[in-house]
Amino acid sequence: MKIKNRQQFLVVLTIAALALLVSVNFIFSPLAGWWSARSQQIKELRTQVKDGNNLIKREAGIRSRWDGMRTNALPANTSLAEQQLLKAVDNWSRSSGVEITSIMPQWKNDSTNYMTLTCRVETAGDLGTLSKFLYNLEKGPLALRLDSVELGLHANNNQQMTLGLELNGLALIPHDKK
């Protein structure tokens, strides 16, 4: 090979290597990154569509549960709500046979859409009556959540127990539709 041909060959080879370097670093790598990002976005969108379709399939159940929550929620009027809760606790204690030793209701206005009535209830009775009281509370129609349960035993009598409960009741605040 002559020197001129060799120089031309090396120049062409250098240009080809440079073109390959530029294309790999500035064209193919960004395209590959864009492609993988796009694939990830498509995967996330498919997951969202699948979740949305599942939500649509469960619409009737979700709506019926929400309607049940709305109808069983405490009234927005605080005195009516406290009266309703105290009446329910009194009914549960009568039907189960427990003795209510103290009830301490307290309102919390956490949001513009709802209020919560936190109530500390102290009861006394034997294990069977306290269990029935808890069962009645859980099966009652009110929108109540049992946050904490404390069970104690009297030292002088092994049959008498105390039960401390912390209940949260939900009161939805109605908003006028415009």
Taking the model in full, what pTM does it have?
Answer: 0.63
Could you tell me whether strands 144-153 and 161-172 are parallel, antiparallel, or unpaired per DSSP bridges? antiparallel
- At residue 20, the pLDDT reads 86
How much of the chain exceeds pLDDT 70, in percent?
Answer: 95
Number of helices (H) and strands (E) in the chain: give both, helices first.
5, 4
- At residue 119, the pLDDT reads 94
pLDDT in tens, 119-133: 999 999 988 999 999
Calpha distance 62→114 (Å, rounded): 19
Topology (CATH level 3) of domain 75-172: Alpha-Beta Plaits (3.30.70)
On whether the CB atoms of residues 163 and 98 are closer than 8 A, the answer is yes
Beta strands in the chain (DSSP E): 99-108, 114-125, 144-153, 161-172
- At residue 149, the pLDDT reads 93
What is the DSSP code (8-state) at residue 24?
I
pLDDT in tens, 15-34: 999 888 888 888 888 888 88
**Residues paired with 170 in a beta bridge:** 116
Average pLDDT over residues 154-167: 82
